[in-house]
Amino acid sequence: MVNTFCLFCACIDQASVGVVESWGRFQRLAAPGLHFFNPFAGECLAGVLSTRVSSLDVRIETKTKDNVFVQLLCSIQYRIVKENADDAFYELQNPKEQIQAYVFDVVRAHVPRMTLDEVFEQKGDVAKAVLEELEKVMGEYGYNIEQILMVDIIPDTSVRRAMNEINAAQRLQLASVYKGEAEKVLLVKKAEAEAEAKYLGGVGVAKQRQAITDGLRENILNFSHTVSGTTAKEVMDLIMVTQYFDTIKELGNSSKNTTVFIPHGPGHVRDITDQIRNGMMEASSSQADN
């Protein structure tokens, strides 16, 4: 920007450089600040260039190796080299169009040799190729290329839809595999739990029967030692009768039970006693055989 105070002076802003001519011929570069010119010697300020970093966004449409049309959004960060500002001022009439033309040329030379997946994976290589070409060409005109950024890669809409569907199908397939493995683990664990429960149930029943047998044996021995003249059979009969009546009492006191018809009488008590005794004797006999 040029602020003209009068015909003989001008102020150049910070981060800018002025181009001074004498009778239409380049004379010198003017640094930021206030400058005085001699119009009688033909001096004048021909123009001012900014040395700040500028950004140019370029959108390029090209085709990949697998025949997919894709758009690439490229951002070029560049600035004018202060020492060579006169080259930038006189050599190029429209530097942005020049930069854009070189970007088109480099990108359309590299991307058609790559598949779409490779373009996404190696976009840094494309940006590097553009940077090397622009540095070599634009450096001769007083421009320095700071950085090249591949901001976005946009395939055709139908291609993007197809890529999303492929990705979704792969994820569904993977989810089905994981779901099947989870169901398999659940079934195996359930079977192991059932087997363990049955085993523990059997162990519990065995311990219960052993405890009942030990308790009966202890009761019989205690009763035989306490009451002289009684045999083990008589004590067993007494215990069975007592258990029988306790069972009937529990059935009567329980409110959750419906009506139960059971045979009752001394003869039936003897039959139950004989059945229990025979069962215990058979069990003892089988253990002795083993």
Tell me the C-alpha distance between 178 and 180, whole Å: 5
d(CA 276, CA 288): 18
∠ at Cα 174 (168, 176), nearest 5°?
A: 105
Other C-beta atoms lying within 10 Å of the C-beta of residue 76: 24
Q: What is the pLDDT of residues 156-181, one digit of tens each?
A: 777 777 777 777 787 788 888 888 88
Q: How far apart are CA 83 and CA 69, in angstroms?
A: 42
Q: Which of 33, 31, 29, 25 is nearest to 9 (CA)?
A: 33
Residue by residue, pLDDT tens for the chain (290 residues) are 444 434 478 888 998 999 998 888 898 899 998 888 888 888 888 889 999 999 999 999 988 888 888 889 999 999 999 888 988 898 888 888 988 998 998 898 889 999 888 888 888 888 998 898 888 888 888 899 999 888 888 887 777 777 777 777 877 888 888 888 888 888 888 888 888 888 888 888 777 777 777 776 777 677 666 666 666 666 666 666 676 666 767 766 765 656 655 665 555 656 666 666 665 566 556 555 55
C-alpha span between 84 and 29 (Å, rounded): 9
Report residue 126 as tokens: 């494309």
Tell me phi and psi for residue 208, to 5 degrees: -65, -45
Judge contact between 143 and 93, C-beta under 8 A: no
| Exposure string over 169-207, b if 16+ CB within 10 A, otherwise e | eeeeeeeeeeeeeeeeeeeeeeeeeeeeeeeeeeeeeee
Secondary-structure class of domain 54-155 per CATH: alpha beta
| DSSP tag of 23 | T
Helices (H), the chain: 85-90, 95-110, 116-121, 123-138, 157-226, 232-253, 266-289
Reduced to 3 states, what is the DSSP secondary structure of residue 226? helix
| Structural contact between residues 56 and 75, judged by C-beta atoms closer than 8 angstroms | yes
Q: Residue 56, CB half-sphere, CA atoms under 13 Å: how many? A: 19
Domain extent listing, the chain: 9-50, 54-155, 231-280
Element (H, E) at 225: helix 157-226
| Claim: this prediction has a pTM higher than 0.85 | no
Rg (CA), the chain: 52
Tokens of 63: 């085709």
